[in-house]
Structure 1
């Protein structure tokens, strides 16, 4: 079991991250025509807007929360006077709130993708697989909040923080040791999260790399209205 734990939570994260980085670079270099959102807004826009807004608000806040919560050393929280127990309650509350918003939007997008014949016809297998995988991952995350009520002292959260921070510092042994005693539901959530990272370069999610940041710094476009020439009697 120790070997499997090291393989899944000490080695696999680096494999997933390597696929994420190298796969994205290779796709950008070789398959630029596939580097797009593949928007289906022209086929249907009402449900897309409703689902996409809620999904993106929820997922962005969840990812930011995970990044700050897992990667900030607990010593920083101690200096700020924030205990592990209080941090866990805040994480459960905020994560649950934005998780439900994200779930609401995602269910609309999944229903739209599967039930609308025109959109289903233009969807690739990966489009459907990635949506369903994100849905399962999101549901696992929400379920894990319920399990967290059994240990409100923040002990499990500290273990997962230790795992994430040792992954960042490339310490496979310590990362595996931290995650070993963590409950199965959290391990499944982490494993599926790593799998999503590995799937990233092969899906339309690559458009995340192309956030139009330069749009806000570009020069104004000069637009001139075409004046119609009026012919007067004087010019005849």
Structure 2
């Protein structure tokens, strides 16, 4: 195998995951005041409402869909749905969510670049991460025609899932991706790069979103009332 190919699909995933996890932990421990989304809603709210809602709806669906679709073993879903139908479902649902997310992110990027006040208050990393996410969405949409052409045997989907499952079980094998079309491979590399940059950007606030879900399922807090010994009639009050 090409050493570059072997690095990006055999070594680079672990490098990105290590930085993603350790970097997030270190930033939370040392720079908690930077652990926020840096909202610019006060400067201009109209376009933000549409852009943010569309972006978050689309990106959450894509994140969940990619995680379940790639990491679910074929043997688990085969009794219920064929690989071909699963790929067609992924094309339709993922394509719809991708378009929704693309429109929302385009609105957010246009808002941040076109408004002078927002551009002046934006960090370079804010703009850079939006551009990288926008390019990643473009690559994801480009893969749709290739996936549709391959729907007859779902070969590409099975190869990508096998590679991802080998990565998370520490059995890396990059040889299967050699025959995969270039948009898929570039989409994977840029996706892993986003995980690499995650701890150094405003994306860390995603962890807070997961924490808020856990907060909903917290146990009830028990509050006990404290009885005060009030003075009886005719007695002087004592200081409590």
Q: Is TM > 0.5 for Structure 1 vs Structure 2?
A: yes
Structure 1 residue 45: deviation in Å? Answer: 0.8
Q: How does 1:113-192 map to 2 (within 5 A)?
A: 113-152=112-151, 153-172=153-172, 174=173, 176-192=174-190
Q: CA separation in 2, counterparts of 1:178 and 1:61?
A: 27
Structure 1 pair 214–2 and aligned structure 2 pair: CA distance change class (3 A): closer
Alignment map for 1:1-236 (pairs within 5 Å): 1-80=1-80, 82-152=81-151, 153-172=153-172, 174=173, 176-211=174-209, 212-213=212-213, 216=216, 217=218
| Structure 1: tracts of 5 or more residues without a match | 220-236
Q: Determine the structure 2 residue equivalent to 1:230.
A: none
Q: What is the CA–CA distance in structure 1 between the aligned matches of 2:13 and 2:51, rounded to whole Å? A: 30
Q: Which has the larger radius of gyration?
A: 2
CA distance in 2, matches of 1:116, 1:124: 14
Deviant stretches of 4+, over 6 Å: none
What is the CA deviation profile of residues 194-225 of structure 1, one whole-angstrom value per residue up to 9, with x for unaligned ones? 00000000000001111223653576xxxxxx
What is the distance in 2 between the residues matched to 1:180 and 1:142?
21
CA-CA distance at 1:2 after TM superposition? 2.8
User: For residues 59 and 106 of structure 1, what CA distance do their matches in structure 2 show?
Assistant: 10
Shift of 1:85: 1.0
TM-score (norm 2): 0.87
The change in CA–CA distance for 1:89 and 1:115 in structure 2 (over 3 A counts) is same
The number of residues matched between the two structures is 217
Contact 2:91 2:148 in 1 (8 A): no
- Distance, in Å, in 2 between the alignment partners of 1:132 and 1:204 is 13
Distance (Å, rounded) in 2 between the aligned partners of 1:92 and 1:215: 34
Following superposition, the deviation at residue 87 of structure 1 comes to 0.8
Q: SS state of the match for residue 149, structure 2? A: coil
What is the CA RMSD across the aligned residues, in angstroms? 1.5
1:133 & 1:32 partners in 2: Cα distance? Answer: 25
d(CA) in 1 for partners of 2:215, 2:30: 25
Give me the whole-angstrom Cα distance separating, in 2, the residues matched to 1:107 and 1:213: 28
| TM norm structure 1 | 0.88
Separation in 2, partners of 1:178, 1:166: 11
Q: CA deviation at 1:144?
A: 0.3
Q: Deviation per CA, 1:179-201, whole angstroms, max 9, x where unpaired?
A: 22211110000000000000000
For residues 120 and 34 of structure 1, the distance between their equivalents in structure 2, rounded to whole angstroms, comes to 19
Structure 2: 5+ residue runs without aligned partners?
Answer: 222-240
